[in-house]
Amino acid sequence: MRVADSSLARQALRGIHESRRQLGAVQVQLASGRRFTRASQAPPAAARADTLRNQLETLGRYQASSHTAADRLRAVTATVAVLTELVQDALQLAVASGSGALTAADRSCLALEAEEIAGAVLDLANSSWMGRHLFGGHLTADPPFARETGAGGYTFAYRGDGGEVIREVGPGCTVTLNLPGDAVFGSPLEAVERLRQALVDNDPASLAETTSALHQALDQVLQHQAVLGVRTAHLELWADHLGTMNCAYAENLSREEDLDFTKAVSDLHTREIAYQASLAVAARLLQPSLLDYLR
């Protein structure tokens, strides 16, 4: 029983179409570098890839927050480090000025140096980062410290608050990026001012008390430095953890989505052979001749 020519033609065309479709699919894979370009081509892998991509986006936000937090924390740490040096300079000045060999004129000259130190400490207290003051708590628009003139010398008013600047740098992980300005700078400002006034007044007894006050101020500043060191170490460890998680998720996403090029090239070669074979078979089946019509 002969098969109708139209039926043979349809089968041959279906074979060509299917071979061409499979060849085209491999070509698209190689062009895109992906195992699939539509979720329907590999639903389980596509679902896992979407989950991994969402996790990577979340990690990216945490990493950006971590980088910003680290920059601000470095700014605070650097400022407190300079404050430590200034308080140490003031302490050395206080010790040197307590010598009985110094005259009132000598101490008056040293008072000018103490005035410079006090001005530098005040500038540090009003330090800013990215247009916001670092030591005003939540009140970051205006300078948190102001020097006011009083009967017995200068006083310093704190116009900030005790608010904490907190950043979330990971799931359930936060870090405090500031220190209370009055706690950090209050004692150093007062102690350096007492030093300056004692030098102006040529008062050796007050100088001895000032030396003790500067020692206490230095101890407080060093404690704040230690707190910042712990926070920085914690933030660095968490940033490393985020980087490790990012690499792991990216590797898993690549495993789900990226194409095995060696296998794909082999598949391409196979599909090309199959496509050429289907063309050749169809050509032989569909060749019309006079004898075909006379049978």
Amino acid at 214: L
Report if residue 147 sits inside a domain. Answer: yes
Can you tell me the distance from the alpha carbon of 170 to that of 189, in angstroms, rounded to the nearest whole number? 37
pLDDT of amino acid 280: 67
Q: How many CB atoms lie within 10 A of CB 130?
A: 10
Range of the domain at 84: 51-251
Q: Into how many domains does the chain fold?
A: 1
Whether the pLDDT of residue 155 is over 70: the answer is yes
Q: What is the pLDDT of residues 237-255, one digit of tens each?
A: 999 999 999 999 888 877 7
Bridge partners (DSSP) of residue 173 are: 170
Whether the pLDDT of residue 1 is over 50: the answer is no
Can you tell me the distance from the alpha carbon of 106 to that of 94, in angstroms, rounded to the nearest whole number? 13
pLDDT of amino acid 30: 59
Report if residue 262 sits inside a domain. Answer: no
| Own/partner long-range contacts of 135-142 (Cβ < 8 Å, ≥24 apart) | 135/79, 135/160, 135/178, 135/179, 135/180, 135/181, 135/184, 135/185, 136/160, 136/161, 136/181, 137/161, 137/162, 137/163, 137/164, 137/165, 137/178, 137/180, 137/181, 138/163, 138/165, 139/163
Residue of 50, 72, 53, 52 whose CA lies nearest to 169? 72
For residue 139, report the phi and psi dihedrals to the nearest 5 degrees: -95, 85
In this structure, the dihedral spanned by the alpha carbons of residues 206, 211, 213 and 215, taken in order and rounded to 10 degrees, is: -170
Report if residue 267 sits inside a domain. Answer: no
Q: What is the mean pLDDT of residues 48-64?
A: 90
Report if residue 1 sits inside a domain. Answer: no
Report if residue 276 sits inside a domain. Answer: no
Can you tell me the distance from the alpha carbon of 160 to that of 127, in angstroms, rounded to the nearest whole number? 13
DSSP string, 73-123: HHHHHHHHHHHHHHHHHHHHHHHHHT-TT--HHHHHHHHHHHHHHHHHHHH
Residue of 59, 57, 55 whose CA lies nearest to 242? 59
Report if residue 15 sits inside a domain. Answer: no
Task: Report if pTM > 0.95.
Answer: no
Most distant CA pair in the chain, distance: 137
Q: Which tokens belong to 148?
A: 């006011």
Q: What is the CATH number of the domain that holds 136?
A: 1.20.1330.10
Q: For the chain, where are the alpha helices, taking DSSP H only?
A: 5-32, 43-97, 104-125, 181-201, 204-257, 261-285, 290-294
Q: What is the pLDDT of residues 110-120, one digit of tens each?
A: 999 999 999 99
Can you tell me the distance from the alpha carbon of 185 to that of 70, in angstroms, rounded to the nearest whole number? 22
Between residues 49 and 55, the one the model is more confident about: 55
Report if residue 122 sits inside a domain. Answer: yes
Under 8 Å CB-to-CB from 45, ≥6 apart: which residues? 35, 36, 256, 257
Report if residue 115 sits inside a domain. Answer: yes
